[in-house]
Each structure stands twice: as C-alpha cells, then as structure tokens.
Amino acid sequence: MIDGKKIRAPLHRWKSTMNQPTRFVLDEPRLPRVWYNLAADLPQPVPAMLHPGTRQPIQASDLAPLFPPAIIGQELSVEREIPIPDAVRDVYRLWRPSPLIRAHRLEQALDTPARIYYKNEGVSPSGSHKPNSAVPQAWYNKQAGIKRLTTETGAGQWGASLAFAGQLFGLDVTVFQVRISYDQKPYRRALMETYGARCLASPSTETGFGRSVLSRAPDHLGSLGIAISEAVEAAVATPDTRYALGSVLNHVLLHQTIVGQEALMQMEMAGDDPDVIVACTGGGSNFAGLVFPFLGLQLRGGRARRYVAAEPMACPSLTRGRYAYDFGDTAGITPLAKMHTLGSGFTPPGLHAGGLRYHGMAPLVSHLRELGLIEAMAYHQTECFGAGRLFARCEGIIPAPEANHAIACTIQEALRCKREGRAETILFNLSGHGHFDMSAYQDFNAQQLTDKTYDETELATALAGLPSVS
Amino acid sequence: MIDGKKIRAPLHRWKSTMNQPTRFVLDEPRLPRVWYNLAADLPQPVPAMLHPGTRQPIQASDLAPLFPPAIIGQELSVEREIPIPDAVRDVYRLWRPSPLIRAHRLEQALDTPARIYYKNEGVSPSGSHKPNSAVPQAWYNKQAGIKRLTTETGAGQWGASLAFAGQLFGLDVTVFQVRISYDQKPYRRALMETYGARCLASPSTETGFGRSVLSRAPDHLGSLGIAISEAVEAAVATPDTRYALGSVLNHVLLHQTIVGQEALMQMEMAGDDPDVIVACTGGGSNFAGLVFPFLGLQLRGGRARRYVAAEPMACPSLTRGRYAYDFGDTAGITPLAKMHTLGSGFTPPGLHAGGLRYHGMAPLVSHLRELGLIEAMAYHQTECFGAGRLFARCEGIIPAPEANHAIACTIQEALRCKREGRAETILFNLSGHGHFDMSAYQDFNAQQLTDKTYDETELATALAGLPSVS
C-alpha cells in the first residue's frame, strides 16, 4: 500500500489534463424525483426481520412504536420507485446534486491506466451522505405529528445530520454518541449542539440499559449496538417521540440511492461507465446508495460490474462475520435481522473510523453478498490513512476515516489495473470529509496511529452467543 | 442582532421555494480565463509603496528578494485583464467555479423582503477563498526555479492553502502561525501537516525577530504583523526561498477577483443584480475578490452599488484606524504602504476570527474607502457568532468566524430592508467554513464567548508610533 511519502514526484511532473473535464455537475432541475428500491429487482427476497419476542416475521404494527407510518411503508415496500417529497427535495437542493469528480491527479500519482471517479458526498452541511436519509426521516416524523427524535451516532456524522434535519423541521433531537467518538471528536459534538441538538456520551446514565452497562464497565468505550439500545429505549419511554436509525435498515438504504442515481447521470455526462464500484461499509448505507442503482440496472439485464465493499480489519462483519439472525442492538430490543454479524454482544476495538464500528451489516447488503453479487475487502487503519493522505495531497479534499477505506480499496484496484495493463473505470463513494477527524490525521502524521484488530476470543464468544432462531 | 434562539418558528412554517432555484452553478468551461485588475479603472492611482530604508517609492528590483518576477509584475501592473495560466486553471477546477446560493431559508427566518445570495468559497480544499491566490503564487515561484516558500498565517486558512498549493507543485512550505491560533485551532495545523508543510508557532525561536519578541514577552499571543516579519526574515535568509503573502498586496487581491467574476455571471443566471455587496475584511482579500469586478463595472460607467466591509470591533482598522503610511509587519522590514492602520506595533486582542487580526488593510481597499466608494462597519464577536449560528441552522453550512462578520452585516442590512419595506438584493462572500473553528462555537453554545475590544491606550500608543514619511 502506498503511504503518500513518494507522491511529490509524479505531481511535480504533472501533465495537464485541461483537455479533459474534472467535475461533472448536474443542474438543480436534474435532482432525482424518486428513490430507487432494490427490493423490486432482487432475484430472491431478503429474509424477513423477526420480532425480538415471538421470533416471527415482523408486521408493520410491530414497528409503530419506533417509526412513523410512511417510514414503515418504505421499510417493507417492494415498489421500484418511491417519490421524494417536494419538502425533502427542497432541502436536498442546499447541496445536491453532489459533484462527480475525475481524480486526474490521483491517477497520475499512481501512474495507472485506470480512470478514477469519485462522488463527493462531503459537500453536505454535516459533511457526509447521512443527511440524504436524515432529512426525509425528520420530514416524515414531522408529518406524523412527532415532536422529538432520538438516535445513536458513532463518529457523529449521522448525529450531526439528524440534528440539522430536526432543526429544519422543528423537532427536538437527542443523540447518544458512542463514548470513544464523543471523546475523540469533540468538534462533532459542537456541531450537533450548534444545530440545536442534545448530545450524550453512550453508555449514559439516562437509560436503564446505559446504567446497566456502566455498572459492569464504568469505562466502557461504547459501541453503536449499545447506543442504539439506549436511543430505542429513550424513544419508547418518551411521549411523541420516535427513533431514527442512520444505516442498516431498508428505508435508510433507499434514501441513499439518490447518490447512485445522480452518479448514473454523471457517468453518462463523462461519457464513461464504471467497471468497478467501491464504497466503505459500516452499516452499509453509503455503499448501498452508490451501488444499488447500478446493480439494479444489472439485475434488469444490464451489464455486469464489480461492486466492492471496503471495511475495517478491526470490525470485519462482511469478511469475518457469520450470516445469521441477530439483533441490531446490544440489549436485544430491536427486531432480529438476517445479516453478516460479529455478534450483537461484540464490542469492536476503538478505531478512528467510528462510523464503521458496527457489529452487523444491512440485511440487503448481506443478502447481496450471499447471492455473490458483491465482494468485500478488509483494510488496516494505517493503510487507510496512508491512502487518505495521498488522496488529500493529490485532490485537496481531506477524506473522513471511513471514506479512507474506500480510497485504500480504490488504490489497490488502480494498482492492479497498472499491473494488468487494463484501463478500467473505477468509481468510489467519497462518503464524507474528515474535517472533524483531524486528530486522527495528527496521530497518523506523527506516526502514532496503530493497526487495531479484534480479539479472536471475544469474537468467538460473541458469535457463540448469537440468538437461536428456529 | 438576532442570536438564533428564535429561529425555529419561521422555518417551522416554511413556505416551499421549489419554484425558485437555490444554487447557481457554472460549468467548468465558464471558469474565468483572466483576473481583473482594478488598478486599470481607478479614478486616482493608489499611493505608491515606499522602500523601508529610503522611504522612496519602491521599484520592482526592491521586491526581488521576496517575490518571483511574475508576481512583482502583477503587483505593479495597471493592465485591466491578466491571463490566468492554464496550470492554475487546471488546479482551480478541483473546486471552481464555486456555487452562488440563494439563502431562501435565512430570508424566511428574518422575514425580510430582501433577496440574499452568497458565494460559497468554503468549497475549496482548505475551506476558504485563500487557495485562489496560493495556487498561482506557488505556480509562479515554481516557474522561477524557487524551491521553498515561507509564509505567515492567522487562523490557518492561508497557511493550509499554501501548504496544499506547495504540495501540488513540489515546493517546501514553512508556515509561521500566530500563536493564539496555533493553540486555539490545532486541527488547522494538522491540516497543514497532512498537506506536507511545516508549521511553527509565532513568535518562534527560528528567527532573530521571533527570539527578540520572546525575550521581551515569553507568552506573547503573536500577531500577523510579527508572523510576517518572521516569514520575511526566514525567506531572505534561506537560499532558493521566497515569501508568500495571503492578503493585503495588489497581486493577492488580483487573484481573488475570480470570485467576483464568477459571481457576476451567476447573478445574471439568477436574473438578479446586487444592490449591496458585503464581505469581511482582515487584510482585504476576500472583500476585494468579490467586490472589485462589480466595482470595476461601476467605475466604467455601470450602475452604482453599496459595498460594505465588515470588520471586528476588536481590530477595527477601517473604522478606527488612521490612513497613513505604515509597515506591513511588526519588525518594520516590509515596504511601507499607505493604508488604514492601527499601527504596526499594535497587538490586537485574541479573538476567534484570527484571519481578521491584522493591524493594517490592503492599500487598494483603503484607497477605495478614502475615495468614498466603499463603506465599513465593525461588529462584536458574540453578535457575529449569533449570526453565524442562525445561518448554520437555516442554510446548513457552518461559517468560519471571519465569515460570520459578513453574515452579521448581511442580517443587519436584511433587517433594514424589512423596516424600510425595500426588496433589495444583498450578496455576501461566505469566505470559508468553520469546521476547524468549532471550539469557538463550543464556547459560544456554552455562553462562554465574550466580546473583546482593543485597549484604547495601546491603540493611541501604536498610532503615535507610526513611521514618519516626508
């Protein structure tokens, strides 16, 4: 893996690309009017979620304490196209359509025949793809008369996005932020508070589950699974309150497909067509957002492409997890989903890509992996930051630690193209910028960042503890 | 001044603006091919800079130890249009043309008949307008065979931009960062280092002048004037090294005019025309960048507009300074410029808008003020952050503390429009985002941000110490 130290020379000898465009920007009227629902085109349906108590397939009514009716409808829908409300498009316009960019300088630095494009989702207010789902979720809750939302957040990308969306529609937002990220990234908390949300470190003393975790482990780093348990508990216990999830569920992935729908039009503008599409995966939402519209074309008879999910070696659900029914949270109060999981009792080691620190994977993404339609690769933290710093020095943008996984994978693919002499087209999702993650780059620059991996014994224990489903 | 607390209600009753566009985006081929030089259209020339020793008008040769020939040519040029090199446009394309955005939600929150537009310069790699000049400066130095650049930075916007530009062209960059900002904004230093630059707190022990300041005041907060002295001293003392300045000088203002030239085209796309143009001023570069192309039209017989410079109450060079010859730096080694100055011996109080913490003002901007062509207003820190938070809650973007001054002024103008029932068009420069300034928002959210003002006695002393020019 390239670490960025040798990057000067190629740019130094930079060959102008003024005869080739760099940025592909769609006009506001071309902002998509529908989200694309992959469920309509699957060769086999995704296994149903199960009720945590009865272990029978969940019904819409089971989800009513958590979500408003419109969201539940989307979660279970098999309609191919779902209209985006005007009020949501009105907000999307603040930053969407997001640009598609040809990474000319990264290509030259790698001396690869591959053409590299990236979709820049870092241009949103909170700096990632997350508002694509936060805005409609807040809107549908507002329409249903809900007054308050609770949620979890890892690195803070999702929490900040929901804080922003809640503010726009007049909803109170409480965010349970995983403690390690709360401590590592104080500026994301400041961002949430600037948008008007309340932010708590999880495990917290505000919920029964948080208190029970703290009583056993007062210094617990937290995890997305624990924060979800707390947010769900708080939502159910408070009147006029619902819960919002930032990834994993079908409706979240649905909202993110606006990314890929724009990218389809933009690749056409570029007169190019991706052979390989890459995105990082934590819960799966930015991967799904970019990949599903392309994969949908393929499933309807279009050309085949490679789709690669890039995940952290420290939390490798797709590459090392088991495909089984498991809870979405640690307390076991959410529905059971069939997914690649490290076990809901597993606490991933603290790493800077907090948004990828989740034990499970979106059921839709897991299903695609089982069907052999997508690939997955795992990367170490330091090689990801090396890739991210190289990207920053070429393209200017400082990527989020999560997005660095996609960049590491893209560089690996581009170097393969070089070895094989193949001029393939690679498209990746730059899911967010790293402006609030600079302490990680500080550590990396000072060579104080280390590779983390999970504890094999803990993983085995967590997998042994998977809930039994008849 | 509105502090953002009452903002929910109007957005809560949000009226859709889907029938009106929000973002005005120029295609890549419309990226300007020339910079606009206001010197060609001035009714009277700017008073010449003077040599610090002889106090006679400087010659091109006097500047040769500091700048490469192309830059010196631009500094003294009176040509109206100066071509932008292809290599510079090739880099500009990474983020330019930058979007012009109609602030529909801010308008509704203020319930004003005014139409508010802003140019978003925060989309650049380093997050502000500064790369518009850093890139050509690095390029011209590279073309002249220079190997190393030194510079100063306040908040770090300029230092990060030169770090990025130097990296692209293979130049070593050393940045002297004002100590208070170095301490307040550690992430900007991490950003500079990620781009490959070396960053030192100023006053430093690396220069004779830095050591002399530290010997008198070991805890000195630093100032832009001191950092400039250090960077100039280091450049002159090191082979193959030149100095780069991020504001104040004619060539820097020239490079920034790409902002206003794009805005002219974008206002035409919007079918609108600004009555008032607002920008914050520290050294004057983002103000000049947006304003000069519009003002140039006016000076060549076009319509008159109001141009308002927004500065901090704590460092009010345009509203409280004297129009006189003064040094650009504290040590007195730079040329003397006729400008609005608080005295080059003046140390402004520490405030979060570190980029505005400069004792002087661009001679071109000062000249316009003397000619009565522009206005100036000063604002307190807390009202600026109130304005910035309101903006963030409406429009999503977290503005830089510097840009908050422009927003405070814009809101004041929009509320005047409301009182007077006038549907004026206001355009302001959102010179940068505040992602690396979140500790200031943290303090503001916790109501721990205070208004700072200068010490009247210190100001009187500094003004009394202005150099005498016959």
Between A199 and B353, name the one with better pLDDT: A199
Residue A333 sits in a domain whose CATH number is 3.40.50.1100
Q: Which residues contact B19 (CB under 8 A, 6 or more apart)?
A: none
What order of strands is seen across the sheet that includes strand B375-379?
A: B23-24, B100-102, B115-120, B425-430, B276-280, B306-312, B375-379
Shortest CA distance from A396: residue in chain B? B125
CB-based burial of residue B208 (10 Å sphere; 0-12 exposed, 13-18 middle, 19+ buried)? Answer: middle
**pLDDT value for A364:** 98
Distance CA B464, CA B458 (A): 10
pLDDT band at A185 (very low <50, low <70, confident <90, very high): confident
Distance CA B96, CA B334 (A): 33
Nearest-by-Cβ selection for A28 from B23, B167, B193: B23
Percent of residues, chain A, with pLDDT higher than 90: 89
Distance CA A278, CA A141 (A): 32
DSSP B327: E
Nearest-by-Cβ selection for A86 from B18, B27, B168: B18
Measured between alpha carbons, how far is residue B290 from residues A77, A430, B38, B97, B287 in Å?
Answer: 49, 30, 12, 13, 6
Does any domain span residue B202?
no
HEC per residue, A368-407: HHHCCCCEEEEECHHHHHHHHHHHHHHHCCCECHHHHHHH
Distance CA B404, CA A364 (A): 44
Does any domain span residue B57?
no
Distance CA B94, CA A71 (A): 38
From the CA of B221, how many Å to the nearest CA of chain A? 23
The H or E element spanning position B101 is strand B100-102
Nearest-by-Cβ selection for B22 from A93, A127, A395: A93
Could you report the per-residue pLDDT of B372-382, keeping only the tens digit for each? 999 999 999 99
Nearest-by-Cβ selection for A28 from B21, B27, B191: B21
Does any domain span residue B178?
no
Does any domain span residue A303?
yes
Q: Is B194 within 8 Å of A439 when comparing Cβ atoms? A: no
Between B283 and A7, name the one with better pLDDT: B283
Task: Provide mean pLDDT across the span A347-376.
Answer: 93
From the CA of A442, how many Å to the nearest CA of chain B? 5
Please identify which residue in the block is written with the tokens 């907060």.
B221
**pLDDT value for B124:** 97
**pLDDT value for B445:** 94
**pLDDT value for B6:** 55
Q: Is A169 within 8 Å of B12 when comparing Cβ atoms? A: yes
- Which of B305, B232, B254 has its CA nearest to residue B72? B254
Please identify which residue in the block is written with the tokens 């999830």.
A245
Exposed e or buried b per residue across B88-107, where buried means at least 16 C-beta atoms within 10 angstroms of its C-beta:
bbbbbbbbbbbbbbbbbbbb
Does any domain span residue B169?
no
From the CA of A266, how many Å to the nearest CA of chain B? 13
Contact A170, B12 (CB under 8 A): yes
Measured between alpha carbons, how far is residue A201 from residues A50, A210, A214, A226 in Å?
Answer: 30, 10, 12, 11
Q: What residues of chain B lie within 8 A of the CB of A126, using their CB? A: 396
Q: Is A21 within 8 Å of B14 when comparing Cβ atoms? A: no
**Kind of pairing between the strands at A23-24 and A100-102:** antiparallel
Interface residue of A90, A139, A384 to substitute, partner B, most B CBs within 10 Å: A90
**pLDDT value for A12:** 58
> Which residues form the domain of B398?
8-32+86-127+250-464
From the CA of A371, how many Å to the nearest CA of chain B? 39
**pLDDT value for A214:** 97
Q: Which residues contact A61 (CB under 8 A, 6 or more apart)?
A: none
Shortest CA distance from A394: residue in chain B? B168
Contact A261, A234 (CB under 8 A): no
Could you report the per-residue pLDDT of A148-181, keeping only the tens digit for each? 999 999 889 999 999 999 999 999 999 999 999 8
Contact A268, A173 (CB under 8 A): no
Q: Is B86 within 8 Å of A18 when comparing Cβ atoms? A: yes
Q: What residues of chain B lie within 8 A of the CB of A164, using their CB? A: 396
From the CA of A285, how many Å to the nearest CA of chain B? 21
Could you report the per-residue pLDDT of A10-19, keeping only the tens digit for each? 565 678 888 8
User: What is the pLDDT tens value at each position of chain B, 470 positions in all?
Assistant: 555 555 554 565 678 888 899 999 999 999 999 999 999 999 999 999 999 999 999 999 999 999 999 999 999 999 999 999 999 999 999 999 999 999 999 999 999 999 999 999 999 999 999 999 999 999 999 999 999 999 999 889 999 999 999 999 999 999 999 999 899 888 999 999 999 999 999 999 999 999 999 999 999 999 989 999 999 999 999 999 999 999 999 999 999 999 999 999 999 999 999 999 999 999 999 999 999 999 999 999 999 999 999 999 999 999 999 999 999 999 999 999 999 999 998 988 888 888 898 999 999 999 999 999 999 999 999 999 999 999 999 999 999 999 999 999 999 999 999 999 999 999 999 999 999 999 999 999 999 999 988 889 999 999 999 998 86
Contact A177, A156 (CB under 8 A): yes
Q: Is A445 within 8 Å of B194 when comparing Cβ atoms? A: yes
**pLDDT value for B9:** 47
Contact B409, B388 (CB under 8 A): no
| ipTM of the complex as predicted | 0.95
Q: Is A187 within 8 Å of B395 when comparing Cβ atoms? A: no
Q: What residues of chain B lie within 8 A of the CB of A393, using their CB? A: 167, 194-196
Could you report the per-residue pLDDT of A228-258, keeping only the tens digit for each? 999 999 999 999 999 999 999 999 999 999 9
Exposed e or buried b per residue across A251-263, where buried means at least 16 C-beta atoms within 10 angstroms of its C-beta:
bbbbbbbbbbbbb
Distance CA A403, CA A405 (A): 5
Q: Is B25 within 8 Å of A22 when comparing Cβ atoms? A: no
Q: Is A187 within 8 Å of B190 when comparing Cβ atoms? A: no
Does the pLDDT value for residue A70 go beyond 90? yes
Could you report the per-residue pLDDT of A78-131, keeping only the tens digit for each? 999 999 999 999 999 999 999 999 999 999 999 999 999 999 999 999 999 999
Distance CA A258, CA B448 (A): 41
Distance CA A404, CA A233 (A): 33
Domain count, chain A: 1
**pLDDT value for A421:** 97
- Fill in the amino acid letter for B405: H
Q: Is A93 within 8 Å of B439 when comparing Cβ atoms? A: no
Q: Report helix, strand or coil for B62.
A: helix
Interface residue of A11, A123, A126, A435 to substitute, partner B, most B CBs within 10 Å: A435
Neighbour count for residue B349 (Cβ, 10 Å) = 17
Interface residue of A22, A130, A169, A384 to substitute, partner B, most B CBs within 10 Å: A22
Percent of residues, chain A, with pLDDT higher than 70: 97
Average pLDDT, chain B: 94
Q: Report helix, strand or coil for A33.
A: coil
- Which of A430, A441, A431, A314 has its CA nearest to residue A379? A314
Nearest-by-Cβ selection for B167 from A193, A393, A435: A393
**pLDDT value for B15:** 81
pLDDT band at A9 (very low <50, low <70, confident <90, very high): very low
Contact A290, A307 (CB under 8 A): no
From the CA of B123, how many Å to the nearest CA of chain A? 8
- Fill in the amino acid letter for B58: I
**pLDDT value for B123:** 97
Q: Dig out the tokens for A319 from the structure.
A: 């590459």
Does any domain span residue B354?
yes
Within 13 Å, how many C-alpha atoms sit on residue B431's CB side? 33
Within 13 Å, how many C-alpha atoms sit on residue B200's CB side? 20
Measured between alpha carbons, how far is residue A267 from residues A35, A116, A428 in Å?
Answer: 18, 11, 12
Does the pLDDT value for residue A8 go beyond 70? no
From the CA of B117, how many Å to the nearest CA of chain A? 13
Q: Report helix, strand or coil for B227.
A: helix
| Chain CA centroid to CA A429, Å | 10
Interface residue of B6, B27, B84, B168 to substitute, partner A, most A CBs within 10 Å: B168
Does any domain span residue A189?
no
Does any domain span residue B95?
yes
As a dihedral over the C-alpha atoms of residue A7, residue A10, residue A12, residue A16, rounded to 10 degrees, the angle is -130
- Fill in the amino acid letter for A230: E
